[in-house]
Amino acid sequence: MLTIIDYSMGNLHSVGNALDRLGVPYTVSASPEAIKNADGLILPGVGAFPDAVRCLKEKGLFGPIRARAAAGTPLLGICLGMQLLFETGLEHMPTEGLGLIAGEVVPIDGHGEKIPHIGWNSLTLDADDPIFAGVPDGAFVYFVHSFRAQTAPAHLLAHTFYGEEIPAVVKGMGKVYGMQFHPEKSHDVGLRLLSNFCRMIENGGTRK
């Protein structure tokens, strides 16, 4: 079962609608037990990094998310949810992230572009990965964000350009993925990416 993690800061309705369109069964839960028993996890997010970390910890979700990722459970972080996968966020103040991907989250410079970055941008695929099955290089997806990840090339699967290079799809240990854009708002390309992630869950058999 796929579980969308509800920590009071995610765009749950849009993600759920996208999964409904794909015919993928899922639950929405803030329960640590649901996370511990999930075959796959989606961590959405809208808002500020420190507030999100506080909410995750208050609900007792920080440890279970880390544990499921370490056990090989497919995990997809979306927008702020992707940023939370990193070691540190520098929004307002340095804040510890989940630490599932090496790196930190920093403000977008933009070099003259408007911040926040809102709109459609193309993906440049930097690595061959099953998450991109059926997704062409140059496909457009929808972004809404003011911060970006700063990480090693080994974790970078795709980037976009908005005044500077911005990591768009990242990968950590096992089956930990992050998408800075909103796949649930990115039409057919986004649905394809979500479908590819769900296929990993179906084929994974990761629950132990």
pLDDT digits (tens, 9 = 90+) for 40-81: 999 999 999 999 999 999 999 999 999 999 999 999 999 999
Model pLDDT, residue 206: 39
Mean pLDDT of 123-152: 98
pLDDT at 38: 96
Residue 205 has pLDDT above 60, yes or no: no
Q: Which residue has the tokens 């989940």?
A: 98
The helix (run of H) or strand (run of E) holding residue 51 is helix 49-58
Q: What percent of the chain has pLDDT over 70?
A: 98
Buried b / exposed e over 70-105, threshold 16 CB at 10 Å, is: eebbbbbbbbbbbbbbbeebebeeebebbbbbebbb
Of the residues 117, 145, 155, 182, only one is catalytic, namely 182
Which candidate in 117, 145, 184, 198 is catalytic?
Answer: 184
Q: How confident is the model at residue 24 (pLDDT cuts 50, 70, 90)?
A: very high
Q: Catalytic residue, from 79, 117, 155, 198: name it.
A: 79
Residue 37 sits at the vertex; the CA angle it makes with 36 and 38, to the nearest 5 degrees, is 100
Q: What is the pLDDT of residue 1?
A: 86
Mean pLDDT of 134-149: 98
Q: What is the mean pLDDT of the chain?
A: 95
Task: Give the gyration radius of the chain's Cα atoms.
Answer: 15
Whether 184 is catalytic is yes
pLDDT at 208 over 50: no
Asked if residues 22 and 195 have their Cβ atoms less than 8 Å apart, the reply is yes
Largest CA distance in the chain: 49
Whether 181 has a pLDDT exceeding 90, the answer reads yes
182 is known as an active-site residue: yes
Of the chain, the percentage scoring pLDDT greater than 90 comes to 92
CA 97 – CA 47 distance, rounded (Å): 14
The question of whether 117 is a catalytic residue gets the answer no
